[in-house]
């Protein structure tokens, strides 16, 4: 009997607390180059009509705070879901981190959710330069990504550097591969995306006729057509020339880093 009475007392205390307390039931944040948003739902005790949600969102880059957003919203028990957000109000280029704090409270309690999301924004540059396969091979520090998917196959930067060294030896698929990698890097580097349709077509071709497939006849003609279009784009505004977005860039040559524990034999295994 005493045990039953004790359990009953604990239940009564727990119910009394939950009747007034509030907490986040769900919380989904998002932040990208366009802006930030949060959505979710809140538990509100049966004796409370609404809770106040106070928020503070900060956008920062390597130099410090870029923008801040703060305010408060009321969330009502009749409709305890929420969805808020805002555009940054500016074009972003570079690496950023968005952080946010969302706090709710009522007379019986409080709860807090936070987030921190990092992202990179690449902006098109009307006069952005384009690099050839040789340029990207000799300028590994300029790569905007650490890997690419070519023909549906993901490659690391180290593997792509090895493939750049691969002799062509009459294999049109290798030539196309080299120029497709360069074209993708050029777009990601900010040279503009007018070539995207040809990039997609070349990707689709290599997905069916992959690297080292040695296409012949009509397939070789089709392969060379994609390669020639990509090569014309890659050679249209050579990186290393002066007056790129008003910035002079001297043409330099660096030694490509040696791939770690990766060989062409390993890469060839992807196609077996």
pTM, 2 dp: 0.48
Q: How confident is the model over 30-69, as pLDDT tens digits? A: 999 889 999 999 888 887 888 888 999 999 998 889 899 9
The pLDDT of residue 125 is above 60: no
Strand partners, 103: 54, 112
Read off the pLDDT of each residue in 116-128 and give the average, rounded to a whole number.
Answer: 74
Percent pLDDT > 90 in the chain is 49
Average of per-residue pLDDT values in the chain: 80
pLDDT average, residue stretch 150-173? 92
Average pLDDT over residues 149-172: 92
Tens digit of each residue's pLDDT (9 = 90 or more) over 168-202: 888 999 999 999 999 999 998 888 778 999 999 99
- Cα–Cα separations (whole angstroms), residue 57 to 36, 109, 181, 255: 8, 23, 37, 43
Inter-axis angle of helices 196-208 and 172-188, to 10 degrees?
A: 140
Residues 166, 266: Cα–Cα separation, whole Å: 13
pLDDT at residue 101 greater than cutoff 90: yes
Q: Which residues pair with 108 in a beta bridge?
A: none
List the domain boundaries for the chain.
23-121, 133-271
pLDDT of residue 124: 54
| Residue 108 DSSP label | T
CATH topology for 23-121 is: Immunoglobulin-like (2.60.40)
């Amino acid at each position: 009997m005493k045990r039953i009475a004790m359990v009953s007392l604990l239940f009564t205390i727990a119910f009394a607390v939950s009747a007034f307390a509030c907490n986040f039931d769900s919380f989904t944040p998002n932040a990208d180059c366009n802006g930030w948003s949060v959505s979710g739902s809140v538990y509100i005790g049966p004796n409370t009509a609404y809770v106040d949600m106070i928020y503070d969102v900060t956008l920062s880059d390597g130099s410090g705070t870029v923008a801040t957003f703060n305010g408060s919203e009321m969330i009502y028990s009749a409709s305890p879901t929420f969805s808020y957000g805002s555009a940054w109000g500016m074009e972003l280029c570079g690496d950023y981190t968005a952080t946010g704090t969302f706090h709710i409270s009522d007379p019986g309690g409080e709860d807090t959710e936070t987030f921190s999301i990092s992202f990179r924004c690449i902006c098109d540059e009307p006069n952005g330069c384009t690099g050839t396969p040789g340029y990207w091979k000799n300028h590994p520090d300029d790569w905007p990504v650490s890997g690419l998917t070519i023909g549906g196959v993901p490659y690391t930067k180290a593997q792509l550097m090895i493939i750049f060294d691969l002799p062509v030896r009459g294999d049109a698929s290798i030539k196309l591969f080299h120029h497709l990698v360069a074209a993708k890097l050029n777009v990601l580097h900010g040279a503009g995306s007018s070539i995207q349709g040809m990039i997609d077509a070349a990707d689709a071709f290599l997905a069916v006729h992959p690297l080292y497939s040695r296409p012949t006849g009509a397939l070789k003609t089709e392969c060379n057509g994609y390669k020639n279009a990509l090569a014309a784009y890659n050679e249209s505004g050579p990186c290393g020339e002066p007056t790129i977005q008003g910035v002079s860039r001297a043409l330099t040559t660096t030694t490509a880093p040696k791939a770690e524990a990766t060989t062409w034999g390993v890469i060839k295994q992807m196609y077996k």
